[in-house]
Structure 1
Amino acid sequence: MDKPLEVEIKGTTEMIKPSSPTPDHLRNFNLSLLDQIVPVEYTAVVLFYTGNGDVNNAAKKSQRLKTSLSRTLSSFYPYAGRIKDHKTVECNDNGAVFVEAYADCCLSDILHKPDQKFLRKFLPTEIESPKAGTGPLLLVQATFFKCGGVALGNCLSHKMADGNTTGFFLTSWGANSRGSNKALIPLFIAASGLFPPDHSLAPYMDVIGSNFVTKRFVLYESKIAALRAKVSSANVPKPTRVEAVTALIWKCVTTAARANRGFPRVSQTSHSMNLRKMVVPPLPNYAAGNIIGDFLAQTKDKKLDLEDLVLKLRKGKEEFRKKGLQILLKNKSLTNPEELSNEVENEHKDFYMFSDISRFPAYEIDYGWGRPLWVSVPNYRHNMVMLVSTSDGLGLEALVTLCQEDMALFEHDPELLAFADYNPSALSVPNHLGFVSRL
């Protein structure tokens, strides 16, 4: 573009309160153990909508969002409160933050060549803000484009929600915005059930750095099928698409790190898992909060083999299913923050966090002007790989965050680029006719 894109904040930031006051007996909400042990930060997601070409109804759309958010907060009442003493949410109906913004460009300018760092302009706060543990728990920014498109940036305190809960909240909000009666009621039971809080635990911030860059790689359905065939073995004859893509990225980031810092280096990964179906009895998907655990996989091998990396991932997952929950409850840590800090700073070991949110129902979230054209997550500031679904539900977008030195090698890895397209336009999707525009 000839000039830099601008996002201007206009109007007054509003506090959106629940449409009905929280009853007295629900005013004190206990965090669960799993809520306590996640880092103090916001989960973030940005959804882009075409707006159906309606360029004159920004005020009407904004009011619709605020009214339906108010109704939604009556069910998700803790999100309108504030955390006190790292143990309890005071459900005082202070409200969620709603910011109205305007972009001096069209939606196509953003999606033609997406910039993960620029996506932070569509968020109402910094992901790493310590206010996630003391201030507003939910902040929303609705950004309106000159073409009538809308970007909806959501920041929800990680102390209150994992990816599953965030998706459920946004889906419920969308249903209320459409006037649908299908908005499910969340079930806040984690603290009173399997994961009671530990009042001795103290909060901690995530480990972040300043020399990190995030880049986007898209693996379409046909390339994933070829990759799965390549990495299959007698030990894992049918690798999942996530296992296959994870193994490919793991190999390529490790190769880059070893080239920059030399061998021998241990490469360790952490992978989030949804515990809702693992506990007994199983919990429904609308059980809200952080109900996740992490399994580890590592390699010390000098020669990296994709089939072997897939096997290590599968074994790590199976081991976690056998005894991971018991270890989590015993150690009271997803990944011990002290240990994580040591891993990040260990000059002989590289540590990568993987988060698969490809089942997040992002492309089903409709506020009354259709489903989103594109959904993404802004850049992080530590070694991180986020796996997000493509709009057709068949491919994966890998949002890879590495230090600049490692990224310079990783993004040119020929094995990676044999299966992944580097930052293609989000305006089109492949089909049997080739790439077809969606605007």
Structure 2
Amino acid sequence: MVRENINIGVEMIKPSSPTPPHRKNLRLSFLDQLAPPTYTHIILYFEANDNNCHEGSDETSRKLKRSLSDVLALYYPLAGRIRPEESCVECNDAGAEYSEARFSEDRISDVVENPVVEELAKYVPAAPYGGGDVPLAVQLSFFGCKGVAVGVCMSHRVADAMSLVNFVNAWAAVCRRDAKTVDFIEPTFDLATRFPPADFSRFFPPEAPSPQPPPPEKIVTKRLIFDEQKLAALKKAAAGPEVEKPTRVEAVSAFIWKHLIGASSAAVAAEGGKNNNGGKNRAFAAIHAVDIRSRANPPLPNQVFGNACARSMAMTTAAAAAAEEERNYSYYDVVLKLREAIRKADAEYVGKLENGDEFLEHYSGTEENDPSFKDGSKTLEICCFTSWCRMPAYEADYGWGKPVWVSIIGVPTRKNLIFFMGSKSGDGIEAWLNMAQEDADVIQTNYNLLFSSS
């Protein structure tokens, strides 16, 4: 059956009150400059209930647009336009993009219970690499079962995942007229005061394009569910003398990275290690995005808007990985390596970020920027992890109750990009893996083997 998809149109929603003249220009911070020019997505799914059914789609639409206009008066940069060449947001009240769509054959229960991750992108208004100067785009989707989904796309140039979730909760609170919650999570926009923008051109001049770029790999998105029982088994397997109680994020990260390294090493061995000295000149990095709000000294408020995050990096080489496998390298060994890396993202590290030019000078000489990785004599395979597990996305209530599911979408243009989403119950993890097909298959096989008796 061909599913009906009726787009109702796109309009610009402007703030309910004009942005004051002294706020017309928001500097991007050094941390914002480090963020990729992509959109971050979140989709909240709400089952039909007495509130959203009885008021009808027209009233639901009216409430969302009115409340969006009101919350944009607080989050005024999201109604502006990004000027990356000037490292700022022009807060000109041009508006956020708002669209609606109807999916008469779709049912919330089907999407939640048996999601097809490749199809979820239809519930958001912008592709991951849409780029552009619009900081915010939202889409309200109406389902045939009378349920609704709210899809939000926010530019990573201006905000991290915590800022996105705080915005969603503020918008929901305005919609249900919860002034107390709105006051509690009202944003601040002074990140550039602590982390002023830096001149990147001095350290990283533009690279010449490759004359023969490698053929693109097929990237797939796979969603693996680690419920409480599976997490208990994995954490037990990853525990050891110095990490008696691994966190759920550490345990799942170790599971994925260990088997990704194994898959890559096996692939090189199968090809005879061509063009890379038998595969010996390969290195692997695991990068975790780390929220620095509580790590800074003095701490940053939870409500600070922007990219208040840094990255921790653990590295190993193909030779080291092979030697470790020979001595039965365990999940514990990987957890220990990851924890040591994350602990380095401390107050001292955050302090270095406060002087962007000095940090860039230091970073340009780190192992990750070894020139041999760029000239092809060595290869570096990076796996990036981002955890949303502690973010209160399931608290968003627009007046219809809390969402029955919160999801992201696949990112088919980014290899080895891993997202961790918390489950509604709060004790599980949904791991969203964007990987080459063959690597994803290896992870799936090891997942099935590890939990075959669960």
TM-score range, shorter chain: 0.7 to 0.9
C-alpha contact 1:37 1:334 (8 A) present in aligned 2: no
Letter paired with 2:224: F
- Which amino acid in the other structure matches residue 169 of structure 1? F
CA distance 1:334–1:354, change in 2 (3 Å): farther
Return the alpha-carbon distance in structure 1 between the equivalents of residues 99 and 141 of structure 2.
8
Q: Specify the alignment match of 1:355 in structure 2.
A: 386
Per the alignment, residue 129 of structure 1 pairs with 130
* Structure 1 stretch displaced more, 242-251 or 170-179: 242-251
Q: Counterpart of 1:411 in 2: which secondary structure? A: helix
Is 2:297–2:347's contact at 8 Å kept on the other side of the alignment?
no
Aligned mate of 2:310, from 279, 286, 293:
293
- 1:112 paired residue number: 113
Which residue of 2 is the match for residue 252 of structure 1?
259
2:117 counterpart letter in structure 1? Q
Counterpart residue type for residue 411 of structure 1: Q
Mapped contact 2:296–2:346 kept (Cα < 8 A)? no
| Correspondences of 1:197-346 after superposition (within 5 Å) | 197-198=197-198, 211-262=218-269, 264=280, 265-299=282-316, 300-302=320-322, 303=325, 304-321=329-346, 323-328=348-353, 329=356, 330-332=358-360, 339=369
The match for 2:274 is none
Distance change in 2, residues 1:289/1:407 (3 Å): same
**Deviation sequence 1:55-108 (CA, Å, 0-9, x none):** 561111111111101110000000000022341211110000000101132222
Amino acid at match of 2:284: S
Length-normalised TM-score, structure 2: 0.84
One-letter amino acid matched to 1:95: G
Structure 1 vs Structure 2: percent identity of aligned residues?
36
**Residue of structure 2 aligned with 1:410, choices 434, 440, 443:** 443
- CA offset at residue 384 of structure 1? 0.8
Count of aligned residue pairs for this structure pair: 413
| Residue 142 (str. 1) matches residue 140 (str. 2) | yes
Matched, 1:94 2:94: yes
In 1, Cα distance between the equivalents of 2:399 and 2:221? 32
Indicate if the aligned counterparts of 1:38 and 1:334 stay in contact, CA closer than 8 A. Answer: no
Q: Distance in 2 between matches of 1:340 and 1:176?
A: 49
Question: Which segment drifts farther, 239-248 or 221-230?
Answer: 221-230
In the alignment, which residue of structure 2 is the partner of 1:81?
Answer: 80
Q: Which of 401, 407, 431 is the matching residue for 1:398?
A: 431
What secondary structure does 2:192 align onto? coil
Shift of 1:409: 2.4
Decide which moves more: 70-79 or 84-93. 84-93
Q: What is the deviation of 1:243?
A: 0.7
1:371 pairs with one of 402, 406, 430: 402
Q: Does 1:161 find its partner at 2:159?
A: yes
Partner of 1:397: helix, strand, or coil? strand
Change (3 A) 1:269 1:124: same
If the length of structure 1 is used for normalisation, what is the TM-score?
0.87
Judged with a 3 Å threshold, the aligned counterparts in structure 2 of structure 1 residues 78 and 176 are, in CA distance, closer, same or farther, namely same
Query: In the alignment, residue 416 of structure 2 is paired with which amino acid?
Result: N
Q: CA, structure 1 residues 307+125, in 2 after alignment: closer, same or farther (shift >3 Å)?
A: same
Gaps spanning 5+ residues in structure 1: where? 422-439
Tell me if the contact between 2:296 and 2:347 (Cα under 8 Å) persists in the aligned partners: no
Q: Which moved more, 1:47-56 or 1:340-349?
A: 340-349
**2:183 is the alignment partner of 1:187:** no
Cα offset for 1:405? 2.1
Which secondary structure state, in structure 2, belongs to the residue aligned with residue 125 of structure 1? coil
Contact 1:50–1:107 (CA under 8 A) maintained in structure 2: yes
1:301 match: secondary structure: helix
Residue type of the alignment partner of 1:362: A
Q: Distance in 1 between matches of 2:421 and 2:199?
A: 35
Structure 2 CA distance, aligned partners of 1:332 and 1:268?
19
Query: Which of 32, 48, 54 is the aligned partner of 2:29?
Result: 32
3-state SS of paired residue (1:34): helix
Q: Give the match for residue 19 of structure 1.
A: 16
**CA-CA distance at 1:209 after TM superposition:** 5.3
Letter in 1 for 2:388: I
Quick one: distance in 2 between partners of 1:99 and 1:209? 32
> Alpha carbon RMSD of aligned pairs, Å?
2.9
- Asked if the contact 2:295/2:347 (under 8 Å) is kept, the reply is no
Checking the alignment, whether the CA contact within 8 Å between 2:286 and 2:314 is kept in structure 1 is: yes
Q: 1:414 to 1:317 in 2, by over 3 A?
A: closer
Unaligned runs of 5+ in 2: 207-212, 270-278
Q: What is the one-letter code of the residue matched to 1:284?
A: P
**Alpha-carbon separation, structure 2, partners of 1:99 and 1:333:** 44
SS in 2 for 1:290: coil
**CA–CA distance in 1 between the matches of 2:138 and 2:197?**
28
Task: Tell me if structure 2 keeps the 8 A contact 1:215–1:401.
Answer: yes
Question: Offset of 1:261 from its aligned partner?
Answer: 2.4
Rg larger in 1 or in 2? 2
What residue identity is the alignment partner of 1:377? I
